[in-house]
Structure 1
């Protein structure tokens, strides 16, 4: 399928859906930090960099099924903001790429503290990723109120792959 980019139109020889999803998944898996954009009720923006893990519930070649998990203190500005306005923007990129090269990702998502019903499962996913990255193990007891910090979850609503001057929509479930 041929489409037009928000930045530049591209021809039918543009990478197919499978390649786009593979490139996006690689960026998600190879990076450890995302930039989280939030805003308060008046619309005042704030961006934060957080260490994340990706919760990929499916490995479809046709779409990217990903949610993002991070650990933050409830009193952090971004945590307070998302309680007021759960709509967030997320960017992931490798900042060591030379200027004008490489890929990046942008997401629109809704974020919240991890609901109690998911806390055991999400804490396990986060703990495995933390241990693999040289961090510590995490359990429900360590992240459930009144404990500090807490786990947060962003559910993606739209996604874009940026590279070579184009912005391409990534299919989500």
Structure 2
């Protein structure tokens, strides 16, 4: 099952363009937001958002979050997802350049415009964010979460 779970998690992350961020504000009020994302290693996930968006403000207050990526096109009962716990933040410095490189490559491959540093730094409307995933899970045949180690090459 471990090899199957690993392959499943990678396939879901590679085949889907949106993830849902589950954030909370300083008082613990929850908020969920879908965002388009890019990754090249399944552990570092990047997206672009306004720093004024509720999920961005929440991450500034509480950088821990939950993330899920799933295929919403399949019939009920046939879907699978990757459930993740992570730490996220607005990127700056070298992290900004590295994240932007992955994000720009992903957006170009998807037929979207290529984002530049000027698009994600002041006074631009958007910023680039990155999440470092510390746990990935998929569901087994009994709807129980199975931990997947995506660091395995």
TM-score normalised per structure 1: 0.82
> Which residue, 13, 37, 58 being the options, matches 1:81?
58
> Which residue, 32, 36, 41 being the options, matches 1:51?
36
Q: Distance in 1 between matches of 2:57 and 2:134?
A: 21
Q: Distance in 2 between matches of 1:31 and 1:93?
A: 7
| Deviation, structure 1 residue 115 | 2.6
CA distances 1:4-30 after superposition (whole Å, capped 9, x unpaired): xxxxxxxxxxx1x22211110000000
**Residue 35 of structure 2 contacts residue 47 of structure 2 at CA under 8 Å; is this kept in 1?**
yes
- Per the alignment, residue 33 of structure 1 pairs with 18
- Per the alignment, residue 149 of structure 1 pairs with 126
Q: Distance in 2 between matches of 1:148 and 1:47?
A: 21
Q: Distance in 1 between matches of 2:106 and 2:54?
A: 25
Give the length in aligned residue pairs. Answer: 150
Are residue 170 (structure 1) and residue 148 (structure 2) matched? yes
Are residue 113 (structure 1) and residue 98 (structure 2) matched? no
Unaligned runs of 5+ in 1: 1-14, 57-64
The two structures, once aligned, show a CA RMSD in angstroms of: 1.4
Q: Distance in 1 between matches of 2:56 and 2:7?
A: 31
**Residue 141 of structure 1 contacts residue 147 of structure 1 at CA under 8 Å; is this kept in 2?**
yes
- Per the alignment, residue 3 of structure 1 pairs with none
Structure 1 residue runs of 4+, over 4 Å off? Answer: none
Unaligned runs of 5+ in 2: none
Q: Distance in 2 between matches of 1:34 and 1:20?
A: 19
